Every structure is written in C-alpha cells, then in structure tokens.
Amino acid sequence: MSKKKILFIGHQAESVGGAEDDLERLLKFTYQSQEFENTLLIPEGPRVKQYGMFADKVITYKIGYLPGLYTNILDYFKYLLKILIQFFDIIRKIKNTRQYNICVVNVTVLVMPAVFIKLLNRKIKTIFFIREMIKPNFIRKIVFKIISKISSGVIFVSEGLKTDYINYAGDSKNSIVMYSASEPSDFFESDKAIEYVRNFFERNFFVENTRIILNIGPVSPIKNQKLIIESLKNIILLNPGIRPVFLHLGRIEPNFFYAKELLKLIKEQGLEKNVLFLNALDKETTQEFIKKSDVVVISSISEGFPLVVSEAFMNETVLITTDCISNERILENNYNCIIIKNDISELSEAITKIFQNEKLRLALIKNALKTADEFLNLERNMNFFIKYLQVV
C-alpha cells in the first residue's frame, strides 16, 4: 500500500519553543510509523537540520506569519507585503502541490500559506492545529472563518480553544482536542544538564532556605512576568526566613520596552538578589531546572495550552497558573494545580501555601501525575493523531 504524503507547515525553526517542540514530535511519530511520507515547509532556522531527521524532504520558505497578538496597523500592512513574496516563493519551491494528500498546519497564524496550498491543490485535506488565542478578537474571527472554509479537520490543544472556535466559526467539523504533551521526565536526563544546573545552584543559591519560582517563555507583556516580580515583596513578608528567587528561562531583549520596565521595577524594589534571568536553554537543561524548582508559575494574560503544563506535571513540580487558560477541564484548582486571578495578592498567597503546606504540595503533585497519565501521555496522543490522519 502506498504511503500518504503529508505536507507539514511550520512558522519558524527556533531552537526553543512549545509549538516548535510539538512540530518535532508530530514529524517524529508520523515518520517512524512508516505509513507516511513527510515533507516539511519551514523557514530557515537553527532547528531545520533537527527537523530533517524526521522528514523525507525539507523545503525552506520566506518567513512571515500573521501577527498573533495586539499590534499596530503598520505590522499588518508589512505582513500583507510579506505574504505576496511568500506566495511566489512557495509556488517556486514546491512546484507540484498535487502530490500531497494532507497538509498539516502547525499554528493558526499560518492561515495564509495554507490558503495558498489549498488554491494550488483543491483536493488536499488541510488540518489545522489551533494552539494560540489570536488577538484582537475581530482578527481571530476572520482567521477562524477562513479555517472553517478550507479545513478538513481541526485539532485544538485545549477545550477552551475549541469552545472559542465554535463561538466564532460556528462549527467544529472533524475536530478533536489533543493536549500538548511532553516526553516522560527521564527522557531528557543528561549528565551535562545535571552538572550545569548543579553548578548554577551552587553559585547563586548558597543561602539556606532559598525557594525557586520558575517562569518559562519570552519576556513580554502577554507573558506578564511583572506579576511575579510585583508579588515578591509580599512573598518575602509572608515567609520570614525564606529567600524567594524568581528564576526566568527564556528570550529577553534588553532594549525591548517591557524588559526595561521589569529591570527598572527590580531595581526600584531592591529585588536584585531575588530575580535571575537566564536566556532560552536546551530542552535537557530546561527540564532539569523544572525538577529543581519549588513551583512553576504561568503568569500570562492569555494562553492556549502551554507545554509547560505537561512539563511541570511530568517533573513533579507544583504548577500555579493565572486563569489565562479558559474553560480548561483538566486543570482543577487545588486538585492538580492552583489557579489564580491576575492579582498580586492571590499569587503571593498561592506561592506561600506551597512553601508552608507540605501536605498540599504533595497532594497537588500526586494528582498532577494522575492527570498527566490520563490526558498528557505523549505516545498515546501521537498514536491517536496517526489514526486521525488515516481517516480524515
């Protein structure tokens, strides 16, 4: 029996990123199933070679994707110019789109390249992953309407995103929910990573009773790291004898206005010894930091279903999240995580609970592992995805 030919489209090939990690897993499991022939359409980037291990062919194209968050009108005009260049670049490099049976679009902001492919091959079955909450709402409504017209299936990474899509698009044909899942915690064990983290802790956290509050992701208003920094004074007052340290892993642009605001706030509040910024790290080192932290905090204003949920659960580290992941049935407050409003006092009190209540901490971890086993099992999810591809 001939293999189905899949064209995967990715928005970038950065070395770190939840959507990029998920794309690699999709490529890997479909490739290893030996039921599909994978072609990857991706912009140039540090991960292209790594992706190529799980693709029969890799085609690079001009980067450019719809701004997914609040931005100015000029950025949308720039994008319109980029998609014209992108269209001709894709036509030139793919040549024959009719050879493909399925097109898998890894993120919603790639809606226009998916439209191009559909125009060139009307019979192709297009499957969209909806991972993010595009802002503003009227742009999201337009995008969802386009997706509903051209897609043969939609995969949501959370129940909240599915509900939101139905509200805007009015249907959910051939749709499923498949949560972003990580490999088991021991999959990433690395002597080099263990040594790096050990040395880092010895250099920076030599004070007894240090507690690590971890946040992962680029420094940006949507990720809202300011909430964690503003809560530190309260946490210090509520926990005498404990040194809370906010450790951030992720991209930080020193000249970006939001990064400047955070650095100014840290200095004004005298928190230089309570905040540490590291850049984005490889997966092995990131997982080791998660294991060694006391709590992982998602402080975001808006999220789809970030991969760090799975990573915290798998690594047995307590998760505290703002209510940015709306209508999500697998996250239960005071059962497998703590869910708070975007509020300094609520975050301070939640972190204090974890520091002072060992019984609660252990119960949250135990229940998080149960949730991970039921909903965030990577191999089970990928086998489900392969069956979905077979029948779509």
The CATH code of the domain that includes 340 is: 3.40.50.2000
- The answer to whether 302 touches 161, Cβ cutoff 8 Å, is no
Contacts of 313 (CB under 8 A, 6+ apart): 319, 336, 368, 369, 371, 372, 376
Three-state DSSP at 333 gives strand
Given a contact cutoff of 8 angstroms between Cβ atoms, the answer to whether 208 and 237 are in contact is: no
Predicted model pTM: 0.90
Portion of the chain with pLDDT greater than 90, in percent: 72
Q: Which spans in 95-179 are helix H?
A: 111-120, 137-150, 159-169
Residue 2: which pLDDT band, with cuts at 50, 70 and 90? Answer: confident
Please tell me whether residues 166 and 193 are part of one structural domain: no
If asked whether residues 128 and 273 sit together in one domain, one would say no
pLDDT at 69: 67
Same-domain status, 43 and 82:
yes
Which class for 49: exposed (0-12), middle (13-18), buried (19 or more C-beta within 10 A)?
A: exposed
Beta strands per DSSP E along the chain: 4-9, 36-42, 57-60, 102-105, 125-130, 153-156, 175-177, 210-216, 243-249, 275-278, 295-298, 318-322, 338-340
On whether both 381 and 368 belong to a single domain, the answer is no
**Is the confidence at residue 186, as pLDDT, over 80?**
no
Contacts of 286 (CB under 8 A, 6+ apart): 16, 216, 249, 311
- Count of domains for the chain: 2
- 137 and 257 part of one domain: no
pLDDT tens sequence across 220-229: 999 999 999 9
Q: What beta strand segments (E) does 158-259 contain?
A: 175-177, 210-216, 243-249
| pLDDT tens track for 41-62 | 999 998 999 999 999 999 999 8
Rounded mean pLDDT, 54-77: 84
Of residues 228 and 326, more confidence is placed in 228
The average pLDDT across 327-335 equals 89
Number of Cβ atoms within 10 Å of the Cβ of 177: 19
CA distance 330 to 159: 9
Tallying the residues shown for the chain, one arrives at 392
Q: Residue 3: is its pLDDT beyond 70?
A: yes
- pLDDT by residue (tens digit) across 228-280? 999 999 999 999 999 999 999 999 998 999 999 999 999 999 999 999 999 88
Are residues 205 and 297 both part of a single domain? yes
Tell me, yes or no, whether 145 and 207 share the same domain. Answer: no
Is 66 or 362 the better-scoring residue by pLDDT?
Answer: 362
Q: Are residues 315 and 258 in the same domain?
A: yes
164 and 177 in a common domain: yes
Same domain, 174 and 279: no
Mean pLDDT over the full length of the chain: 92
Same-domain pairing of 29 and 173: yes
3-class DSSP state of 337: strand
Confidence (pLDDT) at 264: 97
Query: Which domain, by its residues, includes 81?
Result: 4-181+377-391
Which residue is listed with tokens 């189905």?
4
pLDDT tens across 115-165, in order? Answer: 999 999 999 999 999 998 888 888 999 999 999 999 999 999 998 899 999
Do 355 and 265 sit in the same domain of this protein? Answer: yes
